[in-house]
Structure 1
């Protein structure tokens, strides 16, 4: 078991205070958006096994089966297949979707054939992997997730009483659902930029007024007005109005599968994802938006956003998701309770988010114990038997192979 030394990424949308508050450090005044825990090549965690700090990615590459276990290597290759993060949104992230495995492999191969440089700004696929992800709120957390039913989206747009939006309202009311959503999103993202910017400005002003009036959609209208404040004239503001506005309470989570449009708007959470960089953007960003490829990836399926609440199994609160690369669970540990054993079959990352947690390797003396404070984490190799105890909250990310 190894204590992780992690990197905080200073993306512009990050909160300046949320991660420092959790870590008990002074804010720097700069955004601190994400703290990465894992072996992603962009910012691998570092560990010390007696020869100084070494990237976890290098440790795994040197002995993949010893660190990951044979089952994980067979399923996902010689790499840790997930990335755990603390994510602190102080302003909205881009509206985006992720491909499934087949789409990622096809898109990556196509861009390789066409000679698109891996670091090119217009490159869509950085690898051949999918990127399902789970976000679990540590504070009240606001986001957008999945399409509303077209009739509901029509009500949202019609409530703004903006003439430019009436053709979209008519399409959404005409059905069928998937075709209506596709036609409106295509029209919004393909419109002439100057005209669309004016439409977004009028819609945002109306949304600001509606949010002040109250009513069942007040919070959603406030969110859309805020998006327009951060991204003036961006067609992603209208695309966002097709999506569910979700407000999570601490402990609630969202799972984002392939093709589901989503964006995080505000709050601190624990994010767990498959280890991939494949993102197709819909808007709310100055970065490249490839509309034809985006429309190939998006799943035009309306439905409930599916807020997840954990299921308790022998004291472990599990967030069930339909992927094998990862599973997230949580322990709320009480002082004086018996240490809880963690089954040792696959690699794990442990993250303390409140209080104090002790992780102890079976068969060792005190030298095999790590004390974790909020924001501190540990890597547990496959096959290592660990127990946890203390007075605090511990999140556990593990491979399900």
Structure 2
């Protein structure tokens, strides 16, 4: 097995303290948004044998197991992250597998450079994801019921959003949500900026349920995504709770530290809260305009103490072990699939890789012996093959 050295991404929305505090080092003063653990070519983890993507490329069957290679191909199918939001991320959606393949092939055929700022599809894969909170964690996930969204907007007392309120009341759910989001994203930029300013002032004055949107607007003044965000469910996760985000579900993370796992993709279509490219027609093709319950997940404990976050996705499987003092014997986590084990609390020994402290991780090839002992909390990322 391989201890991992991982890249920290310094995106502007990242917290300046959360990852440093978890790891137990002094903050640098710079934002630290994501620590990537895996074999994504954008920032593969490093091992003593070389970059993890190259290690896997040399012998996929040995590293991943024959069943995983047969099911997902010769690449690690998931990417594990520590995610630390100090400011809201962009409001976004991800395509399903068919949409991703079609979009990628279309942009390849049209010769759009893969690093072009207006490119939508970096690869041909979908990007379902799961976020598990390590601290209290705020986010937006899925559309509200249109009547609830209308009531929230009406409560602002802002005349310029009244047409959206009327639309949400006048049409059936899916049609109303589509029409309002389209209107918000295609409105005259100057007029929309003025509306957002009025909305922000009202949200700051009212507080309560409006406070999250005032906070969003503080980071993205004048952005139409502020109003789009009010169409979505606001969710506050407690440590150990999680959200699963499937294709087409609009979402944004607002604040907090969590463990995130996703299919190994970088396909994002943005709705707002960003200076980056927003492709409105393509976005509207991908978004699922249906009210949804955010569906907060809590882990299901198995007899051996593994706490599993159940999802409908096979490319990844996330679980947690809380190792108490006085455990009688090491736990055997040997599996026929590849694993990344991440310590988030205490001190955990993982086979011949030695002690892991918070923020440290190890890659365990398929069928390699993996006995775990110590006192602490450990996340296990693998696949269903």
Matched, 1:318 2:312: no
Q: Give the gaps of 5 or more residues in structure 2.
A: none
Give the superposition deviation at 1:369.
Answer: 4.5
Correspondences of 1:93-242 after superposition (within 5 Å)? 93-211=89-207, 218=208, 220-242=209-231
Name the SS of the counterpart of 1:182 in structure 2.
Answer: helix
Aligned 8 A contact 1:335 1:389 in 2:
no
TM-score normalised over the length of structure 2: 0.98
Matched, 1:70 2:66: yes
Separation in 2 of the partners of 1:198 and 1:369?
57
Aligned 8 A contact 1:8 1:32 in 2:
yes
Give the aligned partner of residue 318 of structure 2: 328
Aligned 8 A contact 1:97 1:262 in 2:
yes
Aligned 8 A contact 1:143 1:264 in 2:
yes
TM-score normalised over the length of structure 1: 0.94
State the Cα deviation string for residues 25-80 of structure 1 (Å, max 9, x = none): 1111101111110001111101114xxxx100000001111000111111111110
Give the superposition deviation at 1:345.
Answer: 1.1
Matched, 1:267 2:256: yes
Correspondences of 1:16-35 after superposition (within 5 Å)? 16-35=16-35
State the Cα deviation string for residues 274-310 of structure 1 (Å, max 9, x = none): 1001000000000000000000000011021000000
Matched, 1:37 2:21: no
Give the superposition deviation at 1:343.
Answer: 4.0
- Tell me the number of residue pairs that the alignment of Structure 1 and Structure 2 aligns: 383
Equivalent in 337, 357, 362 of residue 346 of structure 1: 337
Aligned 8 A contact 2:353 2:362 in 1:
no
Equivalent in 92, 96, 99 of residue 88 of structure 2: 92
How big is the alpha-carbon RMSD for the aligned residues of Structure 1 and Structure 2?
0.8
Give the superposition deviation at 1:175.
Answer: 2.5
Give the superposition deviation at 1:385.
Answer: 2.5
Q: Give the gaps of 5 or more residues in structure 1.
A: 212-217, 361-367
Name the SS of the counterpart of 1:187 in structure 2.
Answer: helix
Name the SS of the counterpart of 1:144 in structure 2.
Answer: strand
Matched, 1:248 2:234: no
Aligned 8 A contact 2:3 2:353 in 1:
no
